[in-house]
Amino acid sequence: MPAAPPARGTIPGAPAPAPRGPAGAEAGERRTLIVGKGISLQGTVADAERLVVEGTVESQMIQAQQLYVSHSGVFKGEVQVEEAEIAGVFDGTITANGSLTIRATGKVLGVARTKRLSVEEGGQLSGRMEMLTDGPQPRPSFPAAAPVLATRDGGES
């Protein structure tokens, strides 16, 4: 008698998938897009909860829950996220409704908007910084401030 075919969704000879509890299910079901080192992506990304950039991404607008640009990554364009961590280069407009972390190897060029900002020693922010608040934002009655260059490398800018 021939052997029974493998169960649907399994690969013959592969170990059985580990059972997932609530935490495992959430992590396993998170929609993550990883743009690997040496890969370039141009266009629009839809429905990604987490975007990891190790290569290069150029986009007019990306909306996601999390953005991580690795030390080898380059992001050019506009993004709106809850949380962002920049260890590579971000060139454009970033709106992080939660927190924006610029690592020691990170460089943000352009416009950065966030509620919470953290810049490690050596991290760079060059352009315009806007701190977001929970309530309605008051409109300034004076001209916009000149762009700033913030560097936390111990030297003067």
- Beta strands of the chain (E only): which ranges? 32-35, 40-42, 50-53, 56-63, 66-69, 74-86, 89-102, 107-119, 124-131, 148-151
Whether 38 is in a domain gets the answer yes
- Token digits of residue 111: 């416009």
**What is the predicted pLDDT for the residue at 81?**
93
Whether 106 is in a domain gets the answer yes
Whether 23 is in a domain gets the answer no
Write the pLDDT tens digit of every residue in 16-67: 444 433 344 344 567 999 999 999 999 888 788 999 999 999 998 888 899 9
Write the pLDDT tens digit of every residue in 123-135: 999 999 999 987 6
Whether 3 is in a domain gets the answer no
Write the pLDDT tens digit of every residue in 84-113: 999 999 999 999 999 999 999 999 999 999
Amino acid at 61: M
Whether 78 is in a domain gets the answer yes
Residue 37's domain comprises 31-128
Whether 76 is in a domain gets the answer yes
Whether 35 is in a domain gets the answer yes
Per the structure, the count of domains in the chain is: 1
CA angle 35-149-79, nearest 5°? 30
Whether 12 is in a domain gets the answer no
**What is the predicted pLDDT for the residue at 62?**
84
pTM for the model stands at 0.69
